[in-house]
Amino acid sequence: MNITLAAKTRLPTPYGLFHLYGFVEEGGQEHLAMVMGDIAGDAPVLARVHSECLTGDALFSMRCDCGPQLEAAMHKIGEAGQGVIVYLRQEGRGIGLINKLRAYAEQDEGADTVEANEKLGFPADARDYSVAVAILAALGVKRVRLMTNNPRKLQALEACGVEISERVAHRVGASAENEKYLATKASRLGHLITD
């Protein structure tokens, strides 16, 4: 996966000062990396690979746990004083924003998140983590302590060459509104969100 660093700037946040990197992949898709502290080298780096969720991250939707996961990752990195969030622009598990809204409509009619994607002709999860691997490599990150509940993400990153020294449980944002969503992630996609 070829990527280009297109921009770098400061990003002051309530959790501390991050450096924001803008990357562009071959097809023109843009992605971000939020970096705090010195992350290059052999020591494991606290990291999150987060797929864009406009409705959860920016519009505070309670249908999912995406916004709280992003905020919790920023908080944990701020407390540690070091870490990276790779923010991938692959909305709706890779199906895009409008199709995600269509999937929401299917869920309103009773489908779970996996069934909704499949009814629209998509796989349950169409995300590709190879660009995250390229971004981590460009930043000099060799080993990560990955904040995730998704074993498929762990497997995909390891298969692409990322050394994961630890999985850091990342369970946040449960509510009555997303109870079925979280249960589906656990039962249908294998997410590690229950004890």
Tell me which of 127, 145, 152, 195 is the catalytic residue: 127
- Is there a binding annotation on residue 187? no
Q: Which pLDDT score, from 0 to 100, does residue 112 have?
A: 85
Known catalytic residue: 125? yes
- Would you say 193 and 152 are in contact if contact means Cβ atoms under 8 Å apart? no
Q: How confident is the model at residue 180 (pLDDT cuts 50, 70, 90)?
A: low
Q: How far is CA 165 from CA 134, 136, 186, in A?
A: 18, 15, 23
Q: Which pLDDT score, from 0 to 100, does residue 82 have?
A: 97
- Output the DSSP codes for 20-38: EEEEEETTS-EEEEEEES-
- Is there a binding annotation on residue 93? yes
Q: What is the mean pLDDT of residues 156-170?
A: 88
Q: What is the mean pLDDT of residues 99-127?
A: 89
pLDDT beyond 80 at 181 = no
pLDDT beyond 70 at 188 = no
- Is there a binding annotation on residue 69? yes
- Is there a binding annotation on residue 160? no
Backbone angles phi, psi at 119, to 5 degrees: -60, -30
CATH code given to domain 3-90+127-188 = 3.40.50.10990
Q: How confident is the model at residue 123 (pLDDT cuts 50, 70, 90)?
A: confident
Tell me which of 125, 143, 167, 171 is the catalytic residue: 125
Q: Which pLDDT score, from 0 to 100, does residue 94 have?
A: 84
Q: How confident is the model at residue 190 (pLDDT cuts 50, 70, 90)?
A: low
